Amino acid sequence: MADVTTGKQLRVRETPIPGFLVIELPVHGDNRGWFKENWQREKMLALGLPDFSPVQNNISFNASVGTTRGIHAEPWDKYISVATGRVFGAWVDLREGDSFGATFTIEIDPSIAVFVPRGVGNSFQALEPGTAYTYLVNEHWSAEAQSEYTFLNLADPTAAIEWPIPLEQAELSDKDRAHPLLADVEPMQPRRTLVLGANGQLGRALRQQWAGRADVEFAGRDRVDLADPASLEDVRWSRYDCVVNAAGYTSVDAAETDEGRRDAWQVNAAGPARLAAIAAAHRLLLVHVSSDYVYADVEGEHDETDAIAPLGVYAQSKAAGDLAVATAPRHYLVRTSWVVGDGRNFVTTMASLAERGVAPSVVDDQVGRLTFASELARAIDHLIAERAPYGTYNVSNGGDPVSWATIAQRVFALRGADAASVAPVSSDEYAAGKQGLAARPRHSAMRLAKLESTGFEPRDQLAMLEEYVATLP
């Protein structure tokens, strides 16, 4: 319905600066004054405005015509409008990338608002006395955050902003007059990706997958320990857009002990719950790696929508972490199985036994698929890069499900040993006389259709097994 004062309808339009949006606002007026919905989340999101989750509202009052402020690029998003008066607004893209230096100007009265992405320089000039310039931001201001600002001189000749009131006649602060020219501006870097558990099998695979990427940081337990809330509090989360949790307590048998139970729940459940809360507060994409162990141990391949019914402490702690991670608005919950990567694992153990002539007994009634850490890292990269729908994804290698005994026999054969020396046994036979063994699922194979629907093609597990064994010393 058209507005009685401005004739405008609510709409959002793009500009030459990527992500910078102009919002036209209906303003309803009569003899008493006017009214507008300055920020209406549901309507504006439907028209394409990002869900930027503002946490602070600031107002700049400008008493005199010609008051000019800027150009300041801040490490957060802003939604700007005018409560009273008029301003001439000018914005320059100071982010690293192809659009660096792009400029946009517009006059803003109460019927116009703008959305300014992180890193786009903001400035304005008051055109009426008593102008109130108001803005919502999605990070709390702090002295530390101010150290991340990027500035540009209001008179920069490259931006060539045509100020309605010449700057020599305008009212500026000395600080704003001293800002650098565009040629001397260090572009604001994009928000980064932080990988936790960077020294494990998946962490090392992600290092290889993202080698050469300057926007990815890797943190081992010495820097960020999921069991230590203080280490999470020490991270400046506003610098990041994505956190990949490759950390986990994976000692399935040790988790059944008193100490192991405590550690498993701290790392696999309490830690991810804290990460989910952090991700929600800072609008982070949370990528969390879980396990096939959380599924009910029933025949057939597990679907992402299957009910969870975990066996044992390890599985229960992972399931609890899954439930917490699912509360993060932006998340990929990646469930995987039988991980093989750089370091000690089932395949390297079998290869060592083959070399030493040891004939092992290996269970043949636990069936699933291997997941090579490099393939898991490739899948995580794919989900992020393709901006796949958020949610839960099963990730493993492809091919027909096989038993652990079949994998062991294949490793023996690839090492030139007698595959027949691997004795297939049942889980009950294997466990007989052994103390402290946790329950293992008999059925670990997972359906991969949801992952494949995003365009990812999992590689065959046996083909990758052959390649992997060939790399072993």
Burial profile 377-397: b = 16 or more Cβ within 10 angstroms, e = fewer: bbbbbbbbeeebebebbbbbb
Cα 70 to Cα 222: distance, rounded to the nearest angstrom: 41
25 within some domain: yes
| Residue ending a domain, choose from 156, 184, 212 | 184
Same domain, 373 and 433: yes
Confidence of residue 3 (pLDDT cuts 50, 70, 90): very low
Q: What mean pLDDT is predicted for residues 119-139?
A: 95
6 within some domain: no
Same domain, 150 and 209: no
76 within some domain: yes
**Sequence-separated (6 or more) residues with CB below 8 Å from residue 434:** none
Same domain, 151 and 214: no
Q: What mean pLDDT is predicted for residues 355-375?
A: 97
Tens-place pLDDT, residues 265-311: 999 999 999 999 999 999 999 999 999 999 999 999 999 999 999 98
Cα 195 to Cα 226: distance, rounded to the nearest angstrom: 12
Same domain, 231 and 306: yes
pLDDT of residue 141: 86
> Structural domain tally of the chain?
2
3 within some domain: no
Say which CATH number the domain at 61 has: 2.60.120.10
Same domain, 236 and 157: no
pLDDT of residue 31: 87
Same domain, 138 and 272: no
Supply the DSSP string of 320-377, one letter for each residue. HHHHHHTTSSSEEEEEE-SEE-SSS-HHHHHHHHHHHT---EEESS-EE--EEHHHHH
239 within some domain: yes
Q: What mean pLDDT is predicted for residues 436-445?
A: 92
4 within some domain: no
Tens-place pLDDT, residues 187-203: 999 999 999 999 999 99
| Residue ending a domain, choose from 130, 161, 184 | 184
Q: With contact defined as beta carbons under 8 Å apart, do 188 and 119 qualify? A: yes
pLDDT at 5 over 70: no
Tens-place pLDDT, residues 218-277: 999 999 999 999 999 999 998 999 999 999 999 999 999 999 999 999 999 999 999 999
Same domain, 175 and 196: no
Say which CATH number the domain at 462 has: 3.40.50.720
| Residue ending a domain, choose from 117, 151, 184 | 184
Q: What mean pLDDT is predicted for residues 458-469?
A: 98
Cα 274 to Cα 226: distance, rounded to the nearest angstrom: 8
Active site residues: 72, 135
Tens-place pLDDT, residues 324-363: 999 999 999 999 999 999 989 999 999 999 999 999 999 9
pLDDT at 4 over 70: no
Residue percentage of the chain with pLDDT more than 90: 90
Cα 162 to Cα 123: distance, rounded to the nearest angstrom: 12
pTM to 2 decimal places:
0.88
Q: What mean pLDDT is predicted for residues 69-74?
A: 95
Same domain, 243 and 350: yes
Q: What mean pLDDT is predicted for residues 419-436?
A: 92
Look up the domain containing 159 and give its range.
Answer: 11-184
**Sequence-separated (6 or more) residues with CB below 8 Å from residue 214:** none
259 within some domain: yes
Same domain, 226 and 103: no
Same domain, 100 and 229: no
Same domain, 277 and 132: no
pLDDT of residue 1: 32
Same domain, 349 and 317: yes
pLDDT of residue 2: 40
Q: What mean pLDDT is predicted for residues 415-434?
A: 94
5 within some domain: no
